[in-house]
Amino acid sequence: MSHTLRFFRTRCLDCGADFAIPDLGEFLYGQFIWYGERGDAFAYFDAIASPMFEHIRSLLRKAVGYPQSPSSHEIDRFHWVVAGCAEKITDQQLLPRRVCPSCRSRNLSVDDGDPVADRLVEEASYDEFLAKPALEQLSMVAQLWEQSGENRFTSP
């Protein structure tokens, strides 16, 4: 399954690189783009259509005591975990934030003019994750939770 996303011209404020990355435009409830950790891979994720939010939430409750009423910081960390459970693309872990493909800075300026292209982006795949035994799934979400704390993650 793939989804057409609008790509916008983006400039890195640290190294000056000029590139195009997808953006959903205005916030669309339950829709996400996961970005490769090297900045040049993208996956579309529709949390409403997918059972993964609920599945990973329940794993996180068991693994790290994820609360029933999470704070916005905990929700950011939850998104990090859900992105990280998706199948890697070109060997890149997926993250809920964009980075410069040249220097990996997060200091980016997205041009709010017209999109430069419409491109098909694959939907994030969770088949590999769901094929893992339950205990492995638990330890993976626990690891990603830890990683999200180390990265002091904040929204893109």
Which of residues 12 and 141 has its CB atom nearest to Zn ion in the complex?
A: 12
CA 102 vs CA 52, 108, 131: distances in Å: 31, 12, 34
Interacting residues with Zn ion between 55 and 114 (CB under 5 A): 100, 102-103, 105
- Output the 3-class SS for 36-82: ECCCCCEEEEECCCCCHHHHHHHHHHHHHCCCCCCCHHHHHHHHHHH
Residue 15 touching Zn ion (CB under 5 A): yes
Which of residues 13 and 49 has its CB atom nearest to Zn ion in the complex?
A: 13
For residues 22 and 119, give the distance between their C-alpha atoms in angstroms, rounded to a whole number: 8
Among 3, 6, 9, 17, binds Zn ion (CB under 5 A): 17
Closest CB 10 distance from Zn ion, rounded Å:
10
For residues 88 and 94, give the distance between their C-alpha atoms in angstroms, rounded to a whole number: 6
Closest CB 21 distance from Zn ion, rounded Å:
12
The first and second tokens of residue 115, run together, are 């999109």
Residue 12 touching Zn ion (CB under 5 A): yes
Q: How many residues bind Zn ion (CB under 5 A)?
A: 8
Residues binding Zn ion (CB under 5 A)? 12, 14-15, 17, 100, 102-103, 105
